Amino acid sequence: MPGLSRREVLFGTAGVMSAFAAGGFAASQAQASDHALTMSHLDHGIVPGTLTKDMMSFSPDGPPPVLRFKQGERTSIGVTNHLDEASVVHWHGLRIANAMDGVPYLTQYPIEAGQSFRYEFTPPDAGTFWYHPHCNTLEQMARGMTGVMIVEEAEDPGFDHDLPLNIRDFRLGGDGQFITLFKARNAARGGTLGTVSTVNWHVDPVFELQAGSLVRLRLAVTDVTRVGAYEIAGADARVIAIDSNPLPMPLPARDVVLSPGQRADIALRVPDREEDDVSLILKKKFDQKVLARFAPRGPSARRDLGELKSLAHNPVPKADLSNAEVMEFVFGWSPEGDAPQVSICGTLGYTFWSINRTAWPGDVPGPLEPLARLKLGKSYVLRLRNESPNDHPIHLHGVSFQLLSSNKRKLPPLVTDTALLLSEETMDVALVADNPGDWAFHCHVIEHQKTGLAGFLRIDD
Ligand SMILES: [Cu+2]
């Protein structure tokens, strides 16, 4: 359905009820849920020796919890908003019903301060995913609201341990307190980088792992800006899935490029000896940084990577390329540089970016116009054309797509929900429009998204 009218929203509760009655957004029900998230303000120690004030989380006393679901099993999550502002939760990468997708005014009303909302869905795909707000993301994500979400395969692939790694930066000064989160001149370029790199909210943590065991590392880059190349050094480690979808052939865990929103599942064979050092490395242009260490402990379990079962493919339909319609999307500057509309979900106060020359007006009550309309069940090729000198991780909600081709490089035939579109690159991706609804389509560099590089596709049923 199209976005809500301003009138319905201004009508307050009565308007909300009438929108439900008119077949609008799902109501939030006060029922027991399988999982509970409490959106909270908190002070927490990120840098040793000090508490960082004004952090935000999905937990009152620590990092966002890791959520675990089972593939094909219905689950529910009760979200209570204890922030002093509105929010909403998006389940990044899950191909679920549109009403549960968590985009303000497009799929639901923002969850106001003090209010609750119950999400309920059945994840069709297994793998590593993540969750985050889709309202005032500039503040809420920058201050900590990014969590890892795991959907377990029906068949256990045979790991001894499973280790989710929530990789992100925080913009902290020398005193461990937040500094200006974003800068306008960066929003018009590659985005504003954080200053302190963390894994699971720790700086350079050491994870003790059983020697000789097989560990599934679940890397989730939940940062708001950073595109990076990652490596596991000191052990035999293979990338087995990217963005929740298994690779046709496992690859060495070297130069694994991940942009904001992307994930990599890595099978790690922990060394046999305690003195062997394993690390997760972020490679930079001129140097590299250790993000986390893995310490072998105890007698060796003597496992072998060859003992792992390969991951089953997720049930993502394959596009029929001989009958696919081509749709072009141009990512570039915003033509007018208009100020976006005022929104309770926050704005930077200016636009720099656009899709098809239109800057997203902000998270405001509709009616909102889609960038394109797709027919349910039909195959499409999306031609993503980047006119700008910056890279953009392009994310589509609700539907996974397959990488086809690029004018700049050879692409692996990956199935994904987030594709890094390089500067001046034109990339073709294919999908089957199999999930009806209004699906957000945007850059995952949050400053780009919030200064115009956003929109949505409508799949008509
Ligand atoms: Cu971007």
Measured in angstroms, how far is the CA atom of residue 453 from the centroid of ligand 1?
7
State both tokens at 32: 């027991």
The three-point CA angle 126-154-420 to 5° equals: 15
**Residue 409 CB: number of other CB atoms within 10 A?**
9
Q: What is the pLDDT of residue 20?
A: 35
pLDDT at 8 over 50: no
Measured in angstroms, how far is the CA atom of residue 274 from the centroid of ligand 1?
43
Closest CA to 83 of 118, 111, 53: 111
State the pLDDT confidence band at 293, using cuts at 50, 70 and 90: very high
Q: What is the pLDDT of residue 18?
A: 33
pTM assigned to the model? 0.93
Amino acid (1-letter code) at residue 316: V
Q: Tens digits of per-residue pLDDT, 370-420? A: 999 999 999 999 999 999 999 999 999 999 999 999 999 999 999 999 999
- Torsion from C-alpha of 296, 299, 304, 309, nearest 10 degrees: -90
Q: What is the pLDDT of residue 236?
A: 97
pLDDT at 283 over 80: yes
Up-side HSE of residue 212: CA atoms within 13 Å toward CB?
8
Measured in angstroms, how far is the CA atom of residue 443 from the centroid of ligand 1?
4
Closest CA to 278 of 376, 206, 377: 206
Measured in angstroms, how far is the CA atom of residue 426 from the centroid of ligand 1?
14
Location of structure tokens 């915003």? 334
Location of structure tokens 């960038």? 371
Q: Tens digits of per-residue pLDDT, 247-270? A: 999 999 999 999 999 999 999 999
Measured in angstroms, how far is the CA atom of residue 450 from the centroid of ligand 1?
10
Q: What is the pLDDT of residue 366?
A: 76
**Residue 78 CB: number of other CB atoms within 10 A?**
20
Closest CA to 343 of 367, 362, 316, 356: 362
Measured in angstroms, how far is the CA atom of residue 418 from the centroid of ligand 1?
12
Q: Tens digits of per-residue pLDDT, 70-129? A: 999 999 999 999 999 999 999 999 999 999 999 999 999 999 999 999 999 999 999 999
More confident residue, 17 or 444: 444
Cα distance between residue 241 and residue 128, in whole Å: 9
Q: What is the pLDDT of residue 22?
A: 36
Q: Tens digits of per-residue pLDDT, 334-369? A: 877 667 788 888 877 888 899 999 898 888 887 889
Q: Tens digits of per-residue pLDDT, 315-334? A: 999 999 999 999 999 999 88
Measured in angstroms, how far is the CA atom of residue 291 from the centroid of ligand 1?
24
Q: In sequence order, which residues have a C-beta less than 8 Å from that of residue 10 and are 6 or more positions away?
A: none
Measured in angstroms, how far is the CA atom of residue 417 from the centroid of ligand 1?
15
Amino acid (1-letter code) at residue 424: E
Measured in angstroms, how far is the CA atom of residue 294 from the centroid of ligand 1?
33
Q: What is the pLDDT of residue 24?
A: 58
Cα distance between residue 88 and residue 81, in whole Å: 9
The three-point CA angle 406-412-413 to 5° equals: 95
Query: Residue 385, exposed/middle/buried by CB under 10 A (0-12, 13-18, 19+)?
Result: middle
Cα distance between residue 356 and residue 371, in whole Å: 8
Q: Tens digits of per-residue pLDDT, 22-69? A: 345 766 555 689 999 999 999 999 999 999 999 999 999 999 999 999
Q: What is the pLDDT of residue 180?
A: 95
Measured in angstroms, how far is the CA atom of residue 442 from the centroid of ligand 1?
8
Measured in angstroms, how far is the CA atom of residue 391 from the centroid of ligand 1?
6
Measured in angstroms, how far is the CA atom of residue 423 from the centroid of ligand 1?
10
More confident residue, 13 or 32: 32
The three-point CA angle 19-24-30 to 5° equals: 85
Cα–chain center distance at 129 = 7
Q: What is the pLDDT of residue 298?
A: 97
Measured in angstroms, how far is the CA atom of residue 14 from the centroid of ligand 1?
38
The three-point CA angle 224-227-228 to 5° equals: 130
Q: Tens digits of per-residue pLDDT, 177-230? A: 999 999 888 988 999 999 999 999 999 999 999 999 999 999 999 999 999 999
Q: What is the pLDDT of residue 395?
A: 98
Location of structure tokens 């909403």? 88
Measured in angstroms, how far is the CA atom of residue 400 from the centroid of ligand 1?
19
Q: Would you say how long the chain is, in residues? A: 461
pLDDT at 6 over 50: no
Q: Report the phi/psi class of residue 123: left, alpha or beta, with left for phi > 0 and alpha for psi in -120 to 50.
A: beta
Question: Please, what's the b/e burial string for 421-439 (b: 16 or more CB within 10 A of its CB; e: otherwise)?
Answer: bbeebbbbbbbbbbbbbbb
**Residue 1 CB: number of other CB atoms within 10 A?**
17
Measured in angstroms, how far is the CA atom of residue 322 from the centroid of ligand 1?
31
The bridge status of strand 415-416 relative to strand 418-421 is unpaired
